[in-house]
Amino acid sequence: MLAALIIVFREVFEAGLIVGIVLAVTSAVPHRLRWIGAGLFAGLAGACVVAAFAGTLTQLFEGMGQEVFNAAILSTAVIMLTWHNVWMARHGREMANELRTMGQAVAEGAKPLVALATVIAIAVLREGSEVALFLYGVAASDEGGGRALLGGGVLGLLLGVAVCLATYLGLMRIPPRALFRTTTVLITLLSAGMAAQAVFFLARANWLTWFDQVMWDSSAVLPEKGLAGRTLKALIGYTDQPTGMQLAVYVGVIVATIALMRLTTTSAPPRAVAAE
Amino acid sequence: MLVELVRKMIVAGGSLGMLLIATQVQAGGPNEICLTYANGQFDPKEPTVPADAPLTIRVKNMESKAIEFESETLKIEKVIAANSEAVLNVRAMKSGRYEFYNDFNEKARGFVNVQ
């Protein structure tokens, strides 16, 4: 039972952190729970589909289907997160300064919510498909401990939800003005980390083998699979043996995000700049 | 509209990237290990391979449950569905003992001896 709890919790943990951050990011947006719920549901449904066709997925791209799939959905998440940041840089300030009518704010607020709901769906899909496969194996086996294992799985899931709530409530303690800045930084690092993970999967698929020498090895100090390592991996894409390409892409995403945000804010009306 | 432009740029950049990646020739390591997973155990448990050369590990899961083949030190992990097989690529490693296991059943463990 403990084994099942740990396995499920480990998978749900990362998704829990991401959902917690999104909840905090969207705290001022009305009807956000509808979108977040839709993202969760789509992710769960997708996870079941991926789990059901895991064998087929693996065989795609000359046996590298899982790696390519992971890289593709991670890249999608990176685009969505960057889009969100850029959109917020442009409209967030306008909304705050001009006190738009509620109706407009809702209509415009829906745009980044699509992006964030997609990110949630992707996070749940990635972790959920492994949980689904594991629990299916447990349920399918006739061993007597099956029910206890399922119980452990449910407990693991609940702990994951607790991580999500703790992240959300922790972020909500930050004053509203500083919260926007904090979440922008968090989302930028989250996105850079996901891009670096996408590079990792492409390297494993032998699709991207440029600059794949390991730049350093910090596995003795901060192992990637430890609790601290996992948390940092989920939040900022920590890896204990980054390759040159991973570092380059990581920095590249951060620089690109800042550049795009600058580009869009400077083209905003001058009064918005003056208010800064 | 600027956001629209940015989206187009991202799409164009992404497509270009994919194109560049797709033209890369598959490296294809000369060393391959074949592992079989049955009755909650890997066989062989301690395969040996030469150091400093890329490696592929082919894992055949003979059980009716999925496994997750994982090695922290070799930096690989992959779900392998019931009664199916999968291939994992490992970058060239220095000599040493690298542990692998089934993440869904941690009693099933083994080592790759890189020499």
Instruction: Decide if A83 and B7 are in contact by the 8 Å CB cutoff.
Output: yes
Q: Which residues of B touch A82 (CB under 8 A)?
A: 10
Instruction: Decide if B84 and A87 are in contact by the 8 Å CB cutoff.
Output: no
Instruction: Tell me the three state secondary structure of residue B101.
Output: strand
Q: How far apart are the first and last CA of chain B?
A: 59
Three-state SS letters, chain A: CHHHHHHHHHHHHHHHHHHHHHHHHCCCCCCHHHHHHHHHHHHHHHHHHHHHCHHHHHHHHHHCHHHHHHHHHHHHHHHHHHHHHHHHHHHHHHHHHHCCCHHHHHHHHHHHHHHHHHHHHHHHHHHHHHHHHHHHHHHHCCCCCHHHHHHHHHHHHHHHHHHHHHHHHHHHCCCHHHHHHHHHHHHHHHHHHHHHHHHHHHHHCCCCCCCCCECCCCCCCCCCCCHHHHHHHHHHCCCCCCEHHHHHHHHHHHHHHHHHHHHHHHCCCHHHHHCC
pLDDT at A145: 64
pLDDT at A165: 95
Integer CA distances (angstroms), B53 to A154, B27, B56, in order: 43, 11, 10
State how far the Cα of B17 lies from the Cα of A240, in Å rounded to an integer.
26
pLDDT at A142: 58
C-alpha distance from A138 to closest chain B C-alpha (Å): 8
Residue in chain A nearest B4 by alpha carbon: A83
pLDDT reading at B36 higher than 60: yes
pLDDT, mean of residues B31-42: 93
DSSP conformation class of B1:
-
C-alpha distance from B97 to closest chain A C-alpha (Å): 15
Q: Which residues of A touch B14 (CB under 8 A)?
A: 75, 79
From A141, A156, A118, A155, select the one nearest A40 (Cα to Cα): A118
Q: Which residues of B touch A264 (CB under 8 A)?
A: 2-3, 6
For A38-86, how does the pLDDT look when each residue is reduced to its tens digit (9 = 90+)?
999 999 999 999 999 988 999 899 889 999 999 999 999 999 999 999 8
Residue in chain B nearest A76 by alpha carbon: B14
pLDDT at A105: 56
The b/e string for B13-34 (b: 16+ C-beta within 10 A; e otherwise) is eeeeeeeebeeeeeeebeeebe
State how far the Cα of A30 lies from the Cα of A110, in Å rounded to an integer.
9
Strands B76-80 and B67-71: antiparallel
Positions in chain A short of pLDDT 50: 101-103, 270-276
Pick A130's closest partner by Cβ from B7, B10, B68: B68
Q: Which of B19, B23, B78 to mutate to test the interface with A (most CBs of A within 10 A)?
A: B78
Instruction: Decide if A207 and B24 are in contact by the 8 Å CB cutoff.
Output: yes
Instruction: Look up the pTM and report it.
Output: 0.82
Instruction: Decide if A241 and B26 are in contact by the 8 Å CB cutoff.
Output: no
pLDDT, mean of residues B5-18: 60
pLDDT at B26: 41
Pick A207's closest partner by Cβ from B21, B64, B83: B21
The b/e string for A192-226 (b: 16+ C-beta within 10 A; e otherwise) is bbbbbbbbbbbbbbbbbbeebeeeeeebeeeebee
pLDDT at B27: 42
| Domains in chain B: ranges and CATH | 31-114 (2.60.40.420)
pLDDT band at B28 (very low <50, low <70, confident <90, very high): very low
State how far the Cα of A251 lies from the Cα of A74, in Å rounded to an integer.
16
Q: Which range marks the domain in which residue A8 is found? A: 2-274
State how far the Cα of B60 lies from the Cα of A269, in Å rounded to an integer.
61
Question: Number of CB pairs < 8 Å for A and B?
Answer: 94
pLDDT at A152: 87
Residues in B lying within 8 Å of A, measured between beta carbons: 2-3, 6-7, 10, 14, 21-22, 24, 26-28, 64-66, 68, 72-73, 75-76, 78-84, 86-89, 91, 103-104, 106
How many domains is chain A built from?
Answer: 1
ipTM of the complex: 0.80
Instruction: Decide if B65 and A137 are in contact by the 8 Å CB cutoff.
Output: yes
Q: Could you give the dihedral angle defined by the CA atoms of residues A227, A232, A234 and A235, in that order, rounded to the nearest 10 degrees?
A: 140
From A245, A204, A69, select the one nearest B91 (Cα to Cα): A204
